[in-house]
Structure 1
Amino acid sequence: MKAGSFYRTYIRNNLFTKLLATFSAIAVLAIVTLSYLLYAVMAGSIERDIVGNQRRAMESVSGYLTAKNDSVQRMVSDIYQDTALSQNVSYLLQHPFADYFRFRIDRYADEPRAGFGNALTYFERKAEGDADIRHLLLYSSGVQYLYAYRREGNPQLLQLNSALSYIPDAMALETPPVSLPSPWVRSGLGLEDKRLYAVRSAINDSSTLQNIGQLLVYYSSDGIQRALATYADVLKGYLLVLTPQGQVVFDSSGAYYGKLYPYASRISALSPSAELEEASLVSVLPESAAGFNVVSVVPKSEIRAATASVRRTVLSVSAVCILFAVALPSIAVFSVARRTGSLVRLMRRVETGDMAGRIHDPRGDELGQIASGFNRMLDQLDRHIEQEYKAEIRQRNTELSALQARINPHFLSNTLEVIRMRAVSQGADDAGEMIYSLSVLFRSMVSSQSIVPLREELELGRQYLELFRIRYKDRFAYRIEMAGTIGGRGVIKLSLQPIIENYIVHGLDPDRSDNRFSIRAEAVRGMISITLEDNGRGMDDQRLEEVERSMRIPLPDEAEGSFGLHSVSERLRLVYGPEAGLSIASEAGQGTTVIIRFPDELEEERS
């Protein structure tokens, strides 16, 4: 009975208890949800940072190995570019090794400068120039010998026989440019270091283009480890460089050198996770040209360890928030429950639209502050309603102004056409042509388009120049050329007019009878180039430097022409990027040349 009475008194019939229970449940659920989301975001951020660091480390390794492969390929390509060296290498690989020295002596006697083509000296210098090279091997496929240059020790020459040695067969196998040294070659040369990898390049006879041998360079993987030094503090798990067969070229952990990677079959570039030694995140960066894959393996246990402190912090903060979310509302609800009646009644009056009522509560406790705040809210609501009413009026006025602004251009254009027809009918053909050009210019300028076809921009420039041709008669002439079929390329509207205006104001000499201005548009190596050239007054070096400086940093007191040039240059860079821009060349008394360049976007899409 007592339990039933307690339920009816403090739960079923007590609104504040229900509110408190509901609020607490919602608060706890919200805190738990937000905590989970916060942890997920922070853990995801940490995981992305780890993956990003791994990716950058992989790119560093891939870039290092690609550079080594390119270096070896350049060694061979440089041979073909030097005739004497190419002949020496061809002779070396197509004749017994001892014959090569006799060949060198004969060549030196006949042509002293041939000493600069010494093949052995060339390869030894290349090997000495790279500290990561441990061995440089020259293999003759026809004579079947292997010459090995050692960084430490004397060179070694192996005379081979396919009937007695597996090395010729191993050298004949098709392998990617970057791989592991052949075990038969390692055995023949007595190489025990398992941290070597090989970069291979075929050597062809420059005359017949037939393969005559191979160049093999054995690098130490310590160089790859140095390439990872920058990421030593942030690298998780380990990085591998694998051949397509799963051979380990490099292992940052050092555990798999000299072995096939046992989990190679479980790694896929399409799957971000795999079961290896344990559940791990796997990233693959393939390098198809050089024939190797860079693999990042990060055990998920390391990721969990990296996020453990975040998890503990989020749980602790969540527990404290839940405690406060339950305790503070309980205290507040029970303290204000007795004084909410007047506030509820006033709210009901406001619901009916009566905004005149106010709460008079002289006490300064929480409910008194709520009452004052509610009064202020009603005052602000009154002001807001008035402001909204005025804002609606202003909006209507703005719409009317915008409509009027759209009508005015059509009115002015039609008026200009009426004036032009009147001038033509009265025999003032020059005035009619000038009014027509002005009308075309006006319609183009009020157009809402910011990018127009190149042919339209050139036509706009022609109409502008036509005004001054009519004005100056035989003292001024212009020429406009457009190469190819680039008329449809997009260009910033009004990019030519400021430059033409600058010439008319500052460059044109009314006293001369040979004023000339030309515009030439063409496509040059993926760029659209527009050259505007005149024979006007030009500028001296000091004025030219001032104009170029104002194009970069316009000053408030700069001339309008300089501001127009800056505007064109800045708009080009904003729309097309840093490769676009404007350049000026001028000489006092000789004229000025302005070149506008921006990417040919249609050409970029084709390529």
Structure 2
Amino acid sequence: MRRSMKWSDLYYKHFKQKLFNRILLIFCVTTIMAFISLSCSIYFYFNQTNKQKELYVNKQVVENIGDYFTKKKDVARNLVQQLYSDESLTQDVFYLLQHDFSEFVSYQIERYYRSSVYNSKRMENFFKSYFYSEGDVQDISLFSKQLSSLFIFHNNNQMEYIAHTENVMLPNSIQLVHKGYVPKEMGVSTEETNVYTIAETIKSPVTLENVGNVIVDFNTNGIYKSYQVLAQQMKGYVIVTTANGDVIYDSTHRYTGKQYPYLRQLLDKKEEAELEEPSYVHTKIISGSDVLIAGIIPKSHLAESMRVLRNWIFILTVICIIGVVSLAYVPITRFSKRTQLIIRAMKKLQMGDLSVRIPVEKDDELYQIADHFNMMVLDLKTHIDKVYLSELNQKNVEMIALQSQINPHFLYNTLEAIRMRAISQGAKDAGEMIYILAMLFRNSIKKDMVVTLLEEIEHCKLCLELFSIRYKDRLSYDLDIAPEVMQSQVIKLTLQPIIENYLVHGVRMDDIDNLISIQAFVRDEELVIEVRDNGNGISADKLEQLRQSLQLIYSFHTPGPSIGLRNVNERIKLYFGSEYGLEIESTPGIGTNVIVKIPYQ
């Protein structure tokens, strides 16, 4: 349980919470798997290539030995044929096979005296010529079936005669025979285990009766010479056996002169066999001789030959993996450090440090993140400063409101007393103005910040009625409000400062056609209210100054023209957003048009 907890803690600490560590881990695992797969493929390819090469060499060795044995069979066959082709030699050989050695000697002497051209060494010289032409011939023997005797010509120019040998078992056809077929009495040295024998039948040319055999003993060194060129390339070994398993030749000398214990597996002629160890096998049986030639490659030998290559592939794979991972580790670590800088900067910002900045190094994704973060912090600081200043202004407004607060009942009662006094004195206009003023005051001290457009228009109508009484018939107003926008939401006292600005600065006292019109409609999901007059207008310089003042944050301590318009503009922007507010158009001597834009709600 503790171990699992430690592993989970390790994963949580170093991988789950760290993206670049996970990226590095995934990259390392992917790289290692890719290199391992590539290395295995390369090793498998070379292993298969090496296997095919060794099997080919093994097959060529077996074929060369097979060709060698075929040639040696031809040597014995040619020897008999040459015996038949030379009449004098044939007479000597057949006489030897049918008479004792002493009689054969007398026969030679008699022929020598009867014929001046007769050569008593003719048969001896004939066999010696084979010793010279075939370097691996060790002995040539003539076996008499009738007398069971053996006449042997040795390659050291010595001759040997063995009379009346018993229990001789020789093949009745051309066949490769291990020397074990020839008993000790035949004169073949049993100490020489690297000798094999080929026996060829001698038949009477007249009766075709089998009269004996020519027996040729070959040194097994000739077998090795037949594949000597390929011996250095061969990884396994070669076994040559008779049909009953007697080993004629073993390149490892382990089974020479013995019975081969795995003959049955070789006779199955399978490419793979379980011998001393799992091995690849290629076999060939010499036609007409029942001699088995087997080229054997233990699988362990192939594995050993690939060991060096396998070690090199392993070393190169490890070096490549370490190199690639190291090359990836450096940039990933640098990215991780730069990311940690961003994270630490965000934590400082979270703690309220607006002075934090991320160093910008390179033009990449992290650079863009750092640059945008720095811009965001700067914008946030500006916004906070702006909101903080707005809050101070709001506090000032609240303080002024508190300082100038008057008991509403006392004010209403006082205005009502003045109104009644004016009416009793016959000043009805003054009484009506006092009544309208009381209604305006009642509306202005309501706590609602947002009202409907209908309520705001009604409040403006009271203002206009109040000033219409003052200016008699010299001031009129016109309202063009679409019915569907009457319930739209507007900030309280949005239009009154605009109207008051006109009444204070725009009305022409000498004219009787002073007109102010209010129009409201919806355009592009915005509520547009236009307050248009035909008053004095605003000069170009003052208009530009007024427009610039509307771009500043409103403050009671900020000097500038038309505090009322600036107050309305700032309240709209604070409540609805910076894209909304006031626009002013004016022509001196013609009039002014103040446009209010707020979202249509």
Q: If the length of structure 2 is used for normalisation, what is the TM-score? A: 0.49
TM-score normalised to the size of structure 1? 0.48
Of the two, which has the highest radius of gyration?
A: 2
